[in-house]
Each structure stands twice: as structure tokens, then as C-alpha cells.
Structure 1
Amino acid sequence: MDGYAFWRISCLGFLVACFMTKGVICDPCRQITARALWCHGKELDQNFINNSLKGKLKVTPDVQEIHLTNGTFSELPPNAFSDCAQQSGTKLTNLTKLDLSFNNITKIHGKTFHCMPNLEKLFLHHNRWQIHKDNHTGFFNNLPNLVELDLTSTFESPDRLHVTKLRYVLDNSNFSKLETLKLGNNDMQFLDDGLGKSLCNMDRLRHVNLQGNNLVSINITHCFQRSKLLEKIDLSDNSFTTLDTRSMTVFNAIQNSNPQVNFTVNLRNQQWSCDCGIKQFRDWLSTTKVHVMSKSDYRCYDGANFRKHIVNLSDRDICHDNETDSSVQAGVVVVIVLLVIIGLALIGVLFVYRSRLTSFAHGVRKSLNRAGHVQYSSVDDSPLTADA
């Protein structure tokens, strides 16, 4: 028997065993260590979440890490991991890390994350969570020790209003110890004052990631100026054309308030518009003490300065071409207006003197006819000669 035939028979035997044991052998979970449970793959479906997960966790009450990834379930029900309300001894007091990434989660209940009071890291990235207006609750309110929350590419919202709804979720949650918040790749088009204030309420926040959205501006509220721990804001891969004055002022204030922390802002890969409006941003790049990542590589996105480095632009580069273009455009407009006025004046003159011009034209035409008639008559009346 060759190797391929053996492999086929082995696979067939595994499928038969899976069917005969009603899925026991097809369990999507494996216990890596006594402290880590890994469940992975399409067998990680809604039925497993609703009926099997808590039973597995009862066997390993001291588990420190749970990884449920690449599954096919769409809902996280209340008390998904333990019935601690009825059985206080089933609390997952040792659990510090919960990974729920790359699933199909569209709905999370307000009591999903009960019974894990010491959780420090929660990963929900790459899901399809839909936050509805009528179910704003403290989803994370029972996680007082949460240090890192990853919501990268987590939300799905056809009306793109999930950012507005998200601020209510953040406002109603306990993030007194949160240090890292990741909100990248969620199709955000704006960062409003409400969400900004929510971030300010996170007293120990160190890292904010807003990378890969569609932000064209941000409303960095002044409350960030009192932040003593903030180390980095990642705004790369968005759609900024410039940076507003308030944000530059707040970033400077953060750096000045705690010079021991090398405060970093990442603004790489934007759609910088290098007209006169970019001048203040260019000056800020050259003078700020904030660590602006790769600032010497920032280039103009379009226009006469396309692909030029912003920090190398002179005032003439930024504004001269625009002023010249404006002067040329103004000159063209003046010429067009003058031509229109002259044309209208000529039309007016022709209209006023139309009768005289008509008489003059008739006179000229009669004169021409008379001259032609005389010429032809003199030719006809001339005597014939021998040469003729």
C-alpha cells in the first residue's frame, strides 16, 4: 500500500469515527497546557458556544487563556463562559486573556463577559459586531482589570454610524486600568468630541490605534492635555489633507506635560494637500518636540508639488503657484468680461442705426450695379476693327 492510499484510508477512518462518536473526536478544542484552551475552526459553531463551552471550562477552572478563533458562530450569549450568578464557584478568576478574533460575531450581550473579573486582555478583532441603538449597555463594565482591548476591524455598520454608537459603549464601561485601545480598520470617517471625551476618561491610556480608517480630520479634545501617560497615537493610513491647529496644540501640550515620555504620533500614508493650507503643518513638523514618525518621508499627494517632501517645501513652493494661477484666472476673467461688453456695445450700435445702415447698404449695392452696367454697355457699343 502506497502512502497516498494509506492517507486516504486514515482520513476515511477519522470521518467514520467522528460520525460514530457524534462529534467527540471532532472536538475543535485542544488543551495546550493546563492553563490554556485553544478552540479553532468551523466546528466552533453556535451550537458549541451555546451547549459545550461552559462544560469544557468547568473541567479546567484554573484556565488563564482562552482562544476561540476562526469559528462560524455569530452570537455571544449572556454568561457565555460561566454561570457564576447561580454558582459563584465557577468564576474564571484566573483568566487573564480571551481571544475571540476572526469569527463571525455580529451580536454581543451585555452580560457576555461576566464571571472573569481579572481579565486583562480581550481581542475581538476581525468580526462583524453590529451595535444597535437600542442595546447600548456596559459590555465591558465587569472587566475592571482590563489593560488591552483590541477592536480592530470589529464593527459592521452599513450606515457608518457605529462610531457614534461606540462612544456610548465606551462611556458605560469601566476602563480605569485600560492602557491600549485599538480601533483601526473600522471605516471611521470622523472622530467626534463625544468619542474624544470617552478616551479622555481612560486615565491610564498609553496607546490609541486609529490606523486604517477613512479619517479626514480629528477632534482631539483639550482634556488630552492633562494626560500624563499617553505615549502613542497611531493615525496612519487615513485620509488627512492637513492637521488642524487644535490637534497640533494638544499634541505639543502632551509632550510638554511629560517630557520624560517620548510622545509619538504616526501620520504616515495620508492624502496631504500641499496648498497654502499646509504651511502651518509644515512648520509644526519642523519645530515640534513630538516624535512624528517618519515625518521626513511625508509627501504631497497631488497638485504642482506632487511627490515632494513636505518638510522641504518653501513658502514659494506652497503658495506661489496658487497665487500665479489665481492671477492668471483673474486676468482671463477680465478679458472675457471686456469682450462681452464690447460685443454687447456693437450689437447696441447696430440696433440703433439699423435703418441708416440698411439705406447705406442699398446705396452701395445700386452703385455697384450701375458701374457694372456702364462697363458692359461701353464694351458692346465699341466699333469693330480688323483685329476683332
Structure 2
Amino acid sequence: MGNHTCVQVCSLVFLIMVSFLTKGILSDPCRPITNQILWCNGTGNSDINQTFIDSILKNKITPGLKEIHIFNGNFKELPPNAFGDCASKHGVKLNSLTELVLSNNKITTIHGKTFHCMPNLQKLFLDNNRWEIHKDNKNHTGYFNNLPNLVELDLTSAFFVAEGLHIIRFRQVLENSSFSKLETLRLGNNNMQFVDDAFGKALCTMDSLKHVNLQLNSLFKLAFTHCFQMSKYLEKIDLSNNTLSTLDQRSMDVFDFIRESNENFTVNLLGQQWSCDCNIKEFRNWMQNTKVHLIGKDKYVCHDGANFNRRIIHLTDAEMVCNDPGVDSSVQAGVVVMIVLFVLIAVALIVVVVLYRSRLTSFARGVRKSFARENHVQYSSVDNAPLTAEA
């Protein structure tokens, strides 16, 4: 009986130990795929929180890592030297790291020295976060200064988009970054409303740029500067699902020039809000004649007006007509004013006639009598005049 009890107690202790060990293993969101890859998946729980980033993560990072994947977490801040402290004597410098994935973590703040200890990084993914770049009180612009070998930067849905200031601020960051080797830049779904000259010039500094993704924004205006046409390696610009009503002449010229350097140059303009009036004639003509590969150009359809839902490439000149809203509105306004004045004058005359009818009647009689007397005097004078010889 005592031996049986001892066995039960030992079994219970063993199960408790296994339970604790298993719990410890299962609660760790990170899995060492290999000695060179660290894989941390929050799976929507709070395992990857701010405490994990500030205190626990550094214990998992080794100098030989080539890839770090941290995603589906729930933390706001990426602190300085979050992945290594290359400034300290015993700090870790990640010379072997080539890929850093920080997708879908609700990140709002990134410090200026967050990425300073990974000089050979080639791919950085910050997509699906809430980076409040415009609220950086320290006015940092050097987030990516220590990434001279970066080839791919993914900032799809990366910014907090309650204000348009985030794009102006990010443009300043681009202007102060060394992206001479950057080939792919993704900026989709960030509520960008325009590409201005300054932003275009920032893109011009990226000598190796091949792919630019600006899809799913709110772009209604482009300003690809002429320096952009020097991007001889550019292969594709994705502008799909924005709000362009037409394409400006300068952008068309720049695209044609790029095509001269790269015969495979492709532009995606699907999903716009094309306004098919006279202002789209040049774009329609360019579509028909350009050598630039326009993805699905036969599917570009009119967004509104008399040509609603018709395909642009099939429109004739006679069907692309402008009714100048400024002229029409002024003419209509003038007609309305004239009608109102005539009505007021007519009403005033009617009121006067009604109120002073008796006086007007007396006045009219007096006028008739006056004319009658005058005529009578004239006729009498003629009758009493002496006859002349000619008479």
C-alpha cells in the first residue's frame, strides 16, 4: 500500500514537472528554425509585447543570425539598439543579418538607432504597423542611414494615416537616407494623396531602383520629375487603385523616356477614377501609341459622366467633350439674375398700378384732354389763316 502511494506521488510530481516544462516551451513565441534564423510569431496573443522586445529579445539574438522574423506581436516601440548594441564594448553587431521582418506588430515609434547594428541588412519589412513618423519630437531622419546595402524596403500599410503629414515626413527621411542599392520600395495603402516634386526627387537618388509600389493609396496627382527618367534600371511602377482622373503630360514623357532605356518597363494604372472628358484625349492618344507596357490598358474605364463605364481606348474625339463648368455656371447665373430682375420689375409695376389706379386714370384723362386742346388750337389756326396766292 505504501509502495503504491509512493508510485502515485512520484507520477504526480513527474506530471507536474512535465506540465511546467511544456508550458514554458509552448509559451515561448520564438522558434529557432536553424542556428541562423530566429522565428517569433505572436499569433495574435500578447506573448510578443513591449517587455519581450525590451528585455527578452536580446537574449535570443546571436551574432551568427542571418534572418530575424518577429510578427503578429503587440508592442508600440522599437527602442534604440533593439537587435544589438554595437556601441558598447561587449555588444552584439549583426554583421551576418540580411533579412529583418517586423510585420503586423502595431509599432508606432521607431528610434533613430533601432537599425544601427546591422550594416549588411538587405531586406527590411515594416508592413502593417502604425508608425507615427510625423510625431517624432526629436526630428529624426536617419532611421535607415546605417543600412547601405538595403535592397528591399516594405512599408505597405506601415504608417498611421490619420494625418497627411506622415508622407511629408517620410519624404524627408528618404532625402536623408543612402539607398544607392535599393531595388524595391513598397509604399502601398498609406493614404498618400500626391507625389510632389520633392518626393519625386527623393526617388531620383535611388540609382538601383527597379520596382516602386504605390497601389491602394489616394493619389490624385503625380509629379514624377524629369530626373526620375534617369532611373535606367526601373522595371515597374504600380499605381493601381488610386484616384487619378487623367495622367499629366510630364509623367507620360518621363515614362516614355524610361522605356527607351528599358524595353520591359511596365506601369500599372488599373482601378483609377478616369474622367472621360476633353482632358483625357492626350492620355487616350498616349495609351494607343506608347511603347510602355500598360497592364490591362484595354480595361481602363470611365469613372463618371456621359461615358460612364466605357473603355477609354475605344472612345472617339467627338465623345470626349468638355462642358466648361466655369462658363456654364456663369451663364446660368446671369440668366437667373435677369429673370429675377424682370419678375421684380413686373411685380413692382403691378403694385403701383393697383395702388395708384385712380390717380393714373385721372392723369391719363388729363393727358388726353391736353392733347385734344392742342390739336384743336392747331386746327383752328390753320382754318383762320389767310390764303396766299399759291393757295
- Counterparts in 2 of 1:309 and 1:350: CA distance versus 1, 3 Å: same
Among residues 68, 80, 96, which one is paired with 2:82 in the alignment?
Answer: 80
Structure 2 counterpart of 1:29: 30
If the length of structure 2 is used for normalisation, what is the TM-score?
0.79
1:145 aligned onto 2:137: no
Among residues 37, 49, 57, which one is paired with 1:53 in the alignment?
Answer: 57
Structure 2 counterpart of 1:304: 306
Structure 2 counterpart of 1:243: 247
Structure 2 counterpart of 1:216: 220
Q: Give, in angstroms, the shift of residue 296 of structure 1.
A: 0.7
- Counterparts in 2 of 1:14 and 1:213: CA distance versus 1, 3 Å: farther
Structure 2 counterpart of 1:266: 268
CA contact (8 A) 1:299 1:307 kept: yes
Structure 2 counterpart of 1:288: 290
Structure 1 counterpart of 2:164: 160
Q: Give, in angstroms, the shift of residue 90 of structure 1.
A: 2.6
Q: Provide Cα deviations, 1:284-321, integer angstroms capped at 9, x if missing partner.
A: 1111111111111000011111100001111111117x
Structure 1 counterpart of 2:177: 173
2:315 & 2:95 partners in 1: Cα distance? 57
Q: What is the SS of the residue equivalent to 1:319?
A: coil
1:20 & 1:34 partners in 2: Cα distance? 22
Structure 1 counterpart of 2:380: none
Q: Give, in angstroms, the shift of residue 350 of structure 1.
A: 5.0
Structure 2 counterpart of 1:134: 137
Gaps of 5+ in 1: 1-12, 363-388
CA contact (8 A) 1:274 1:305 kept: yes
Q: Give, in angstroms, the shift of residue 150 of structure 1.
A: 0.1
Among residues 121, 124, 128, which one is paired with 2:123 in the alignment?
Answer: 121
Structure 2 counterpart of 1:39: 40
After superposing on structure 2, the runs of 4+ consecutive aligned residues of structure 1 that deviate more than 3 Å are 13-25, 325-362
Structure 2 counterpart of 1:111: 113
CA contact (8 A) 1:79 1:111 kept: yes
Let me know the Cα RMSD of the aligned residues: 3.1
- Counterparts in 2 of 1:244 and 1:360: CA distance versus 1, 3 Å: same
Number of aligned residue pairs: give it: 345
- Counterparts in 2 of 1:63 and 1:130: CA distance versus 1, 3 Å: same
CA contact (8 A) 2:161 2:191 kept: no
1:206 & 1:220 partners in 2: Cα distance? 15
- Counterparts in 2 of 1:358 and 1:204: CA distance versus 1, 3 Å: same
Q: Give, in angstroms, the shift of residue 156 of structure 1.
A: 0.4
Gaps of 5+ in 2: 1-13, 363-391
Q: What is the SS of the residue equivalent to 2:124?
A: strand
Q: Provide Cα deviations, 1:210-268, integer angstroms capped at 9, x if missing partner.
A: 11011111111111121211111111111111111211111112112x0x431111110
